[in-house]
């Protein structure tokens, strides 16, 4: 296995971990991968020391793919991840970041222009403390003024940076699956990876219908956030979560049921998510060693009889109540409304 490092890794876990071909890149990535959206104010206060330990533990136990973005804490996530990666052999991991989404204020949140794209990658290299980034993804392309901007400016800039040796592979992410299909169709053969989030969960299986298209385009499929950005955890989502009230109430009912049974809903959600065939890796946000252990337990050991019974009950009696299985358009509407008001 290309990323195995003697005297660093826990050999037993690495031998148990499945490493999947990453599209046409030639890389092999761990079936479970590490997301760092949680290394930011998006998910409350961060215990940096604990986050650093979580990254090191994950790497030692065989996770070799780490994902971040400038938007996560406006550089904080990249900075913290970079501190952790400096303590891990470079051979042991692949690191991915993003361009296009940056600030919290709507007026400065997105910029898909060539100059900003180059500036962003240069800053990410410094914060991450690496000579090159394995994957740079164009972040949430549904927010671009139009997809032509992405094809004419963002993508060629990343291709130029790749030619300079600053990145290896180029990817794209979005919440609406039809937007992913459209941008990939507009730039055939130019993307290496595709990241879809919250579309393979206990309440939404929409990703399944797009797997054949992504595979036909030889893309590495990254299936992110099987926990629904916190909805499918005992702790519940953050106040900003864009889902409707009915979905939040149903997920709260599921979390309360799990708590009464002494079960972690997040483990059930992770187990359910990783059953899908097609994705190379399943990306989960983890900011503590406890979360690393829970997610790897779901992968390595599966569910106990009790956990399986709770999951079956939730699927049949609770999640079946959800009437609207996604929040597509909610964030877009809020963004464009705010932009319109800012111009008045």
Give catalytic residue positions. Answer: 72
Chain position carrying tokens 């952790």? 84
Q: From residue 82, how far is each of 75, 125, 130 by CA, in Å?
A: 10, 9, 8
Distance, CA of 46 to CA of 36 (rounded, Å): 11
Q: Which two tokens stand for residue 27?
A: 């890389």
3-state secondary structure the chain: CCCCCCCCCCHHHHHHCCEEECCCCCCEEECEEEECCCCCHHHCCCCHHHHHHHHHHHHHCCCCEEECCCCCCCCHHHHHHHHHHCCCCHHHCEEEEEECECCCCHHHHECCCHHHHHHHHHHHHHHHCCCCEEEEEECCHHHCCCHHHHHHHHHHHHHHHHHCCCEEEEEEEECCHHHHHHHHHHCCCCCCEEEEECCCCCCCCHHHHHHHHHHHCCCEEEEECCCCCCCCCCCCCCCCCCCCHHHHHHHHHHHHHHHHHCCCHHHHHHHHHCCCCCCCEEEEECCCHHHHHHHHHHHHHCCCHHHHHHHHHHHHHHHHHCCCCCCCCHHHHHHHHHHHHHHC
Q: Is 188 exposed, middle or buried (0-12, 13-18, 19+ CB in 10 A)?
A: exposed
CA dist., res. 305 & res. 322, Å (int):
26
Residues in the chain: 344
């Amino acid at each position: 296995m290309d990323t195995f490092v003697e005297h660093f890794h826990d050999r037993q876990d690495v031998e148990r971990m499945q490493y999947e071909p990453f599209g046409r890149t030639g890389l092999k990535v761990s079936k479970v991968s590490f997301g760092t959206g949680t290394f930011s104010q998006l998910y409350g206060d961060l215990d940096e020391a604990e986050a650093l330990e979580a990254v090191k533990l994950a790497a030692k136990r065989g996770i070799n793919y780490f994902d971040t973005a400038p938007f996560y804490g406006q550089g904080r996530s990249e900075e913290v991840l970079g501190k952790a990666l400096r303590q891990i052999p470079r051979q042991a991991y692949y690191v991915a970041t993003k361009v296009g989404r940056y600030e919290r204020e709507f007026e400065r949140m997105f910029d898909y222009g060539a100059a900003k794209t180059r500036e962003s990658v240069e800053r990410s290299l410094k914060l991450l403390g690496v000579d090159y980034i394995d994957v740079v993804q164009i972040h949430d392309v549904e927010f671009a003024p139009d997809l032509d901007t992405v094809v004419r400016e963002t993508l060629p800039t990343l291709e130029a940076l790749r030619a300079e040796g600053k990145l290896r592979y180029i990817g794209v992410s979005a919440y609406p699956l039809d937007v992913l299909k459209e941008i990939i169709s507009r730039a055939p053969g130019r993307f290496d990876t595709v990241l879809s989030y919250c579309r393979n969960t206990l309440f939404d299986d929409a990703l399944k219908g797009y797997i054949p298209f992504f595979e036909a385009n030889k893309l590495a499929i990254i299936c992110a956030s099987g926990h629904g950005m916190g909805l499918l955890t005992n702790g519940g989502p953050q106040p900003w979560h864009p889902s409707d009230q009915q979905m939040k109430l149903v997920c709260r009912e599921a979390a309360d049921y799990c708590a009464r049974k002494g079960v972690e809903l997040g483990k059930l959600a992770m187990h359910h998510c990783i059953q899908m065939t097609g994705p190379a890796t399943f990306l989960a946000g983890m900011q503590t060693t406890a979360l690393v252990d829970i997610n790897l337990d779901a992968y390595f050991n599966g569910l106990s009889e009790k956990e399986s019974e709770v999951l079956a009950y939730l699927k049949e009696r609770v999640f079946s109540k959800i009437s609207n299985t996604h929040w597509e358009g909610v964030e877009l509407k809020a963004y464009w409304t705010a932009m319109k008001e800012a111009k008045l």
